[in-house]
Amino acid sequence: MSRLISTGARYLTHRLLYMNVYDPSLVSVNTRCVLSYLRTLPRYKHPVSLLSTLCSLVDEKNIVLLGAPGARKTRVGVILGQLTGLPVIDIAEVLEKTWHMSVNQKLQQIGDELFLQEEGEILKSLSITRSIITLTGSNPMHPQSMYHIKKNGIIIYLDVPLEDLLERLEGMKVDHIVGLRPGIPVQEFLQCRQQFYHKWYDIRILCHFGDTSETVAEKVLDALKRHQGSSAFISTRSIAKTPELMKDPSTFTDVLIEGLALDGGLYVPADSLPEITVGEWQRLVEASYAERAQVLLERSVHPDDVPPVKLRKMVKRAYGQNFTCNSIAPIRHLTDNLFLLELFHGPTASFKDFALQMMPQLFAYCMPRTCSYLILMATSGDTGSAVLDGISCLSDNDKQRISVLTFFPEEGISLIQKEQMISYEGENVKTVGVKSNFEFCQTTMKQILTNSNYTGFLTVEYGSALSTANSINWACLLPQVIYHASAYLDLIKQGIIAFGDPVDVCIPTGNFSNVLAAVYAKCMGIPIRKFICASNQNNALTNFIKTGKYDLRYRTVTTSLSPGLDVLRPSNFERYLHLVAHGDGQLMRELFSQLDERNHFQVPDTLLRRIQHNLVSDWCSEEECLAAIYSVHKSAGYILDPHTAVAKVVADRQQDRSCPVIISSTAHPCKFAAGVLQALGVKEIGQHPIDQLQMLNSLNSLPSVHKTVLQRIGKIHVQNWQDSCPADPNVFMDTIENFIQQKFMRVI
């Protein structure tokens, strides 16, 4: 250990000499502090190993602390220096030594603007490695010097609660802070500063109210370990359990671009999902939806894949102006202990917007610049329009490189869903109807995506690659975790529960992405108790959860009023099985090849008990669904869409009334206007979608009319549209090739 500390001290001496600010007393204080401090820490009985792991963690990089005045960067920096043995360089101190006067004096002498420039120049001239650097509060306002620091540093933002900052600043003299003068409200000043901090950080430490500097330093160390630890992904069918065993672990960028793993499995993180602490969640209770999203995403996506500042831009685009409700995913009391989580305020009126307003942006950011991408989609109705809208929000530049082809089943989806999709026809998007059901579309899509001969051919011939943007793709699941967490936080905000209280969720289940996202929210610390899965008569999954037998031998999909649930082989269920089977890829291979070959499998009893530990399931008939829409409208003046109605029926049957139940309301009723009007007993239902929508609106019930859908449907003429194809995989492949030919240039 002494060797490491003296190395640290040598470094510091060297650096300070280089900077002409050498002060021998500083070094000896540092060394003494480390020794005495380490002895007092029971947690770090083996400082040598801690030091060596951390040194290897940061390589040659600096650990750079950034934050508002009053964030205690300097104190946290000193403690971190003591814990790690790395030299600590406090920029304020460097400035004062260089200027031979205090920061305060300098500021009064030359004013804000020159001050920023001079301090920036000094920061830019520093050449430091393997140190802890604590920035001044104003450093981040000088871009050039920050680029310089960022090149060789992991930048950590100490995000301290406003209350703490205000209290601390009150005790400080404010005349030595850039931009803060008596008379300027401190809160306003701090909010204005935030944008500069947001621009630079790699990792944010969400400090809790009243955290001591020691606690914050420990949080920094934990975050650094996470940052350097494995962020690899494996396929659910991968036999190698740890990424070390695999030659070439996949990153977030890889799984986002590839979508489906080549072995036919789905990508999942090799390690567990990041956990968010109670204190951190509590800070998010008062936060906006976008801020909650930001925190969850930056925790789950490594900054080397997508830096937080880019995520912030994407979040703003995704959950900014284009939702019809400011709170994005509001929660509404229905009756008794039942709450509706309204997930239909996005531009295409279903919960698919949450994933698909975000995912295309991530895709455009991460995709390799060397090739064009065709995103293939099989849709049960709602995914199609959601991805088309998401793609339409991309920049023109990105649209040159990304196109979308959606296949939807002509059987089953509603007229309004169909019109929605067609209304997006444009330069880089195409929609094709298939004379079959969703199962066929989804299975064919999977076959095409894993057919390496075919995909290889497209790449060689056209410089184009295929990917997919439905919930098979990991990047679609993350944005769904956010609204489950957000709903829980909103119940706290409304005073209905306190953090830690259980809630149940009840979710109309098709491909199992929504339930899985709720399970992930629990893994990240939201105390959801039961996950109630609701299906319609296509109940292979809910039956399996009850019996452990997955049996498709005597089943075919039947169409229903709730097409999002017309699924017999929910792709995301494999991720759940993999999770509860503790990552047993071999078992996944066996089970799913049995399902492919023999159309059924059965899981061992021990596994079934683990599945049932959290999951409850049931299904509801078409009649019950219609009756629920009718009775809720009558008693509460609220119109449920058919998917939500299925969940309501199942929630009533399966819940034990001991805690709040959050029902995912996955679509706006207007998308299924014909079915809903039928349920409400309307006798003469108009043939045209626009008539149906107006009829629904005339009932003056909640939820209020979805303006975006209304506008879109008003504009289009479905009669002229006739892209449809037979249920034949070869025709799919021809369609794909033709579209690529049209869209992307041929490679010569």
Ligand X SMILES: *Cc1c(COP(=O)(O)O)cnc(C)c1O
Give yes or no for residue 390 binding ligand X (CB under 6 A): no
State how far the Cα of 677 lies from the Cα of 198, in Å rounded to an integer: 48
Please identify which residue in 564, 669, 689, 703 interacts with ligand X, judged by CB under 6 A: 564
571 binds ligand X (CB under 6 A): no
Of 445 and 458, which CB lies nearer to ligand X in the complex structure? 445
Binding of ligand X by 512 (CB under 6 A): yes
Least spacing, CB of residue 716 vs ligand X, in Å: 20
Using only C-alpha atoms, the chain has a radius of gyration, in whole angstroms, of 28
**Of 713, 745, 739, 747, residue with least CA distance to 427:** 739
User: Exactly one of 643, 706, 712, 743 binds ligand X (CB under 6 A); which one?
Assistant: 643
Report if residue 438 touches ligand X, rule: CB under 6 A.
Answer: no
Q: Please tell me whether residue 379 binds ligand X under the rule CB under 6 A.
A: no
Contact present, 273 and 524 (Cβ < 8 Å): yes
CB of 62 to ligand X, least distance (A): 43
Among 74, 235, 350, 535, binds ligand X (CB under 6 A): 350
Least distance CB 641 / ligand X (angstroms): 7
Rounded distance between C-alpha atoms, residue 104 and residue 173, angstroms: 10
Q: Round to whole Å and give the CA distance between 375 and 398.
A: 13
> CA 216 → CA 72, 159, 205, 442, distances in Å?
9, 10, 8, 48
For residues 733 and 455, the answer to whether their CB atoms sit within 8 Å is no
* 509 lines the binding site for ligand X (CB under 6 A): yes
Q: Which is nearer to ligand X, 159 or 382 (CB)?
A: 382
Interaction between residue 416 and ligand X (CB under 6 A): no
* Residue closest to ligand X when measured from CB atoms: 564
**Stretch of 166-174, 236-244, 262-270, 502-510 contacting ligand X, by CB under 6 A:** 502-510
Task: Write down the least CB distance from residue 562 to ligand X, Å.
Answer: 7
Of the pair 115, 512, the CB lying nearest ligand X is at 512
Residues in contact with ligand X, shown as a per-residue x/- string from 229 to 268 under the rule CB under 6 A: ----------------------------------------
- What is the chain's length? 748
Tokens standing for residue 442: 């989804």
Contact stretch for ligand X (CB under 6 A) within 87-95, 393-401, 505-513, 616-624 = 505-513
Q: Are 262 and 250 in contact (CB under 8 A)?
A: no
- Is position 560 an interface residue for ligand X (rule: CB under 6 A)? no
Q: Does 352 bind ligand X (CB under 6 A)?
A: yes
Place of tokens 């409850």: 616
What is the token pair recorded at 296? 């969850």
Closer residue to ligand X in complex, CB, 257/476: 476
Q: What is the DSSP letter of 549?
A: E
Q: Mention every residue, 6+ apart, whose C-beta is less than 8 A from residue 82.
A: 33, 34, 37, 38
3-class DSSP assignment, residue 746: coil
Q: Minimal distance in Å, beta carbon 642 to ligand X?
A: 8
CB of 513 to ligand X, least distance (A): 3
Q: Which is nearer to ligand X, 302 or 643 (CB)?
A: 643
Is residue 575 within the footprint of ligand X (CB under 6 A)?
no
The sign of the CA dihedral 485, 487, 490, 495 is negative
Query: Chain-centre distance of CA 155, in angstroms?
Result: 22
In the list 138, 238, 513, 692, the residue contacting ligand X (rule: CB under 6 A) is: 513
Strand segments, DSSP code E, in 32-108 are: 62-66, 88-90
Give the angle subtended at the CA of 237 by the CAs of 231 and 241, to the nearest 5°: 50
Closer CB to ligand X, 213 or 572, in the complex: 572
- Residue 195 sits at φ, ψ, to 5 deg, of -55, -35
Q: Does 511 bind ligand X (CB under 6 A)?
A: yes
Q: In the bound complex, what is the minimum distance in angstroms from residue 444's beta carbon to ligand X?
A: 18
| Contacting residue, 30, 82, 414, 666, with ligand X by CB under 6 A | 666
Burial class (CB in 10 A: 0-12, 13-18, 19+), 56: exposed
Cβ atoms of 142 and 117 within 8 Å: the answer is yes
x-or-dash pattern for ligand X, window 459-478, by CB under 6 A?
Answer: ------------x-------
Specify the residue, 284 or 696, whose C-beta has the smaller distance to ligand X: 696
Q: Which stretch binds ligand X (CB under 6 A): 84-92, 225-233, 512-520, 726-734?
A: 512-520
Strands (E), 399-527: 402-409, 429-434, 464-468, 503-508
Instruction: List contacts with ligand X (CB under 6 A).
Output: 350, 352, 380, 382, 471, 508-514, 564-565, 643, 666-667
